[in-house]
Chains A and B, each alone.
With several copies, the nearest count.
Chain A
């Protein structure tokens, strides 16, 4: 169960559908450069429910075929430059969603249900561009009552970063519970963690309450500060300066390439 990032990246394949979390929920940034180095292609990313730096870098490096997302941005550091450019140039397929629809698709998969009904959406261009969503009349209403059905989202892989895991493979996700449906819905889940603890996290009811059980976890790598330059809730803040440096550099493809070729990987921290 406990291994290193490279051996987890070895298990990824071209064309896989990969779920990644929102910027404040524990992004496994430590996966990004190894994924790029491996030359992965045609990835279908699912942002839960929005994407940021990791998505932008994978797009900039040409690894991505499509992105299903409610938004992609660098937050305070502005728009996501490689995402925006790729959309404008038609180099990736963007599948626009809305946050609760992504959650709905994952919950459907979590429950083993084929779809989940969702209010809202009627009359939006989001819905108009989603032929994979269906509108039916609510069978419980006396008269016409259109409701949108979101099909189950079943990623091949979910990848995220968490504060800690134990040696049995239990991962502490705390109140970032959207990480659990991601893992329930995915076939395999790979996690980087800031630290490994010796005690079993399920043995104590207080810590157990925040645990994603090993049952759903296929591999864990110990990567201190593995979310950097993003923060880890309750542990360390985002490195906004680093995000801004990236945003400035990645305005052009050349700038992005130069940035990625440079040394900003915090290898010294991960070593």
Chain B
């Protein structure tokens, strides 16, 4: 029954994340990142017959394969053993610079956020960093960040096997081209257009003449999402899983 309901916006996002994770061997996600975790779990489920995708969730007991303390994630990334990671940001700009520290003048920021966490390292060494921020507004997607926690690109002499490949928001998906450097709009989510994205985005970006819509999950994918992925997610993100189930129930009633 649940599987018959059309895709929720979050399910489309999770499906987009799983697509961005094609071919990865090991994904790490932060402690409070249910959507990236769900995307990674969907990737695992999609590839189950052919290969094992490793997923490390910081702070989770069931998905914690580390035994050397909180430094092991960074060591592991430095060794090239982590293929993909997710990064958010209080501000993200058109060069893919991210700011996790604060808005306004540093250090007495007008608005102070927690801090850079591991971004100033992971952004350099993880090959496929996916920028993920649901809020897509000119306040977040700025022309230039006030503080660079981690830069989108580096000069050629800087050791940088890693970096951003995509930016996924609640409105759209962009790819990142480090040679230009800049973002290209890949697709807009249902209900959005090139114009609504332009209005919501503080930086310039490239786009195709005709902007496609972000694909919704097909029936098989939806079945995986609402079955094994949702069940697995329950362990680590019970509140998120509960909301998801509630939204599904509400939508089914509505139909």
Contacts and interface: CB of A to CB of B under 8 A. Distances in A.
B181 interface: no
A2 interface: no
A203 B28 CA distance: 19
A84 B70 contact: no
B121 A214 contact: no
B107 to A, nearest CB: 6
> What band does the interface of chain B fall in when counting residues whose beta carbon is under 8 Å from A?
35 or more
Contacts of A180: 68-69
B46 to A, nearest CB: 21
Interface string A208-252: 111111111000000000000000011000000000000000000
A96 B154 CA distance: 21
> What band does the interface of chain A fall in when counting residues whose beta carbon is under 8 Å from B?
35 or more
Contacts, number: 187
Contact of A125 (B65, B101, B112, B155): B101
Majority-rule SS of B interface residues: loop
Contact of A99 (B59, B67, B118, B123): B118
B117 A123 contact: no
B124 interface: yes
Contact of A213 (B66, B74, B102, B122): B66
Contacts of A179: 69
Interface in B140-185: 147-151, 154-155, 157-159
B70 A99 contact: yes
Interface string A112-135: 110000111111111101000000
Contacts of A211: 67
A161 interface: no
B136 interface: no
